[in-house]
Amino acid sequence: MDDGKNNQRNDPRNEKKRKDSVKDSQDKRDTKIRPKDELTEDIDAMDVEEDAEDQSCSSANTNESIEENEIEEVGNQVITDLEQLQVKDLNDDKMDITKNNIEESTYQLSQVNTDEEDALARAQWNEIQTQTYSMSRRLCEKLRLVMEPLIATKLQGDYRTGKRINMKRVISFIASGYRKDKIWLRRTKPAKRNYRVLLAVDDSQSMQKENAGNMALTALATLANGMSQLEIGELSIASFGEEMRVIHPFSKPFTFDSGVDCVRNFTFVQKRTRTALCVESALSVLKESDGLGSSSSLNLVFMISDGRIERDSRSKLRKLIREMTECNILLVLIIVQGDVNNKKKKDGSIINMKEVSFENGKPKLKNFIDDYPFPYYLIVEDMSSLPEILGDALKQWFEILTQIHIQGII
């Protein structure tokens, strides 16, 4: 048995197996001892690699975030600037819109005010026209008899030459053996009026007293409508106070809208009445309108006022009135007294007014109307009597002017 065991030990194959087994056991022991250290080293190596990767990732992320922040800052800066520009543009647009709205509202308000004023003026002129219609018709008929036609527009006469044949003379012409040859007509019959009339209305504050302003507008409507119905010629309307202003020129016909413009322009707020300036301006207007050089036209100036004039201007007024008479201009002052029904208002009438003058250093009391510079004037208290009074007065004044011109020629 012992020999068998020894033989087995001495067998080389067995010896090889034994060495292999010893080696395996040694390897196992080594693997049992070394895994902890190797794992530690592997873990450390993995941690280092992870830290490096984390650092690289963090640095990459940091760089990316920095780049993103820079991009965002740049983008934000650009967007902010654009927003500012847009806000500024919006503010400008808002300001422009606000200005436009203010201008539009102001324009609309002015249009509303203008429309309201126009409506009031139209209503007032329509009412005045309605009230003065009958007076205008009466004045037209009165003036038809007084203001004769001046321009020959109709055919008349028995002439040997002419434009048309008078058929009534043809039979006698043939029966006479063609000897009575005055069978022609010529335009020698006056049938058209060629007067130039200027109506000037006092627009001062004194016209507000005692309703004189409304009476002045009534007189204006009566004269303007009556003369327009008669086709008197050319008519102009002006206002005077501190200065004279033409409201309706000679070149335009007088219509309803012309009356509305007159009512709109007469406010009776001027603080002073410069009568001499009005007369001088009226003379200039008539000279500039080329109406003074024609012998077939007569110029008339009707001034509608309360009659209160400045004392210092009386000598100048007399001089201007003489100049107007030489230029074939008739100046008539129509004095409207307003409502003078009670005693207090009658005392304020121009007829009862007194003034003090000094002669040789002594005061002297006299009537205001005694030294009046206007030779032709009317004092109207009742407007319903204006057509008859004016018609009769114009007839007398035309006769006086005719005599003056005849004496001047002789």
- CA gap 355, 309 in Å, rounded: 12
Residues 13/21, Cβ–Cβ less than 8 Å: no
Residues 6+ apart with CB under 8 A from 228: 235, 253, 254
- CA gap 289, 281 in Å, rounded: 12
Q: Is the dihedral of CA 97, 102, 105, 110 positive or negative?
A: negative
Collapsing DSSP states into helix, strand and coil, what is residue 386? helix
- CA gap 240, 265 in Å, rounded: 11
The answer to whether residue 35 scores a pLDDT higher than 90 is no
- pLDDT given for residue 93 in this prediction: 56
Range with top average pLDDT, 28-42, 74-88, 92-106: 92-106
Q: Which of 50-59, 276-285, 324-333 has the lowest mean pLDDT?
A: 50-59
- pLDDT given for residue 49 in this prediction: 55
Q: Sheet holding 164-165: strands in order across? A: 151-159, 184-192, 164-165
- Locus of tokens 């500039």: 288
The answer to whether residue 201 scores a pLDDT higher than 90 is yes
Q: Which residues pair with 270 in a beta bridge?
A: 204
The answer to whether residue 152 scores a pLDDT higher than 70 is yes
The answer to whether residue 5 scores a pLDDT higher than 60 is no
- CA gap 391, 138 in Å, rounded: 9
- pLDDT given for residue 226 in this prediction: 92
The answer to whether residue 197 scores a pLDDT higher than 70 is yes
Residues 220/262, Cβ–Cβ less than 8 Å: yes
Confidence band of 235 (pLDDT split at 50, 70, 90): very high
- CA gap 390, 302 in Å, rounded: 11
Residue range 97-150, pLDDT digits in tens: 665 665 565 555 555 567 788 889 899 999 999 999 999 999 999 988 888 887
Average pLDDT, the chain: 75
- pLDDT given for residue 13 in this prediction: 58
* CB count in 10 Å sphere of residue 372: 16
Residue range 154-180, pLDDT digits in tens: 788 788 788 888 888 888 888 888 888
Numbered ranges of CATH 3.40.50.410 in the chain:
193-409
Confidence band of 339 (pLDDT split at 50, 70, 90): low
pTM over 0.75: no
The answer to whether residue 70 scores a pLDDT higher than 80 is no
The answer to whether residue 54 scores a pLDDT higher than 60 is no
The answer to whether residue 345 scores a pLDDT higher than 80 is no
193-409 classified as CATH 3.40.50.410: yes
**Residue 248 or residue 88, greater confidence:** 248
Q: Which residues pair with 155 in a beta bridge?
A: 187
The answer to whether residue 233 scores a pLDDT higher than 90 is no
Q: How distant, in Å, are the alpha carbons of 74, 80, 87, 96, 215 from that of 77?
A: 5, 5, 15, 28, 78
- Rounded to 5 degrees, φ, ψ at 84 are -60, -45
Buried b (16+ CB within 10 A) or exposed e, 133-154: eebbebbbebbbebbebbeeee
**Using DSSP, how many helices (H) and how many strands (E) does the chain show?**
10, 11
Q: What percent of the chain has pLDDT over 70?
A: 66
Confidence band of 26 (pLDDT split at 50, 70, 90): low
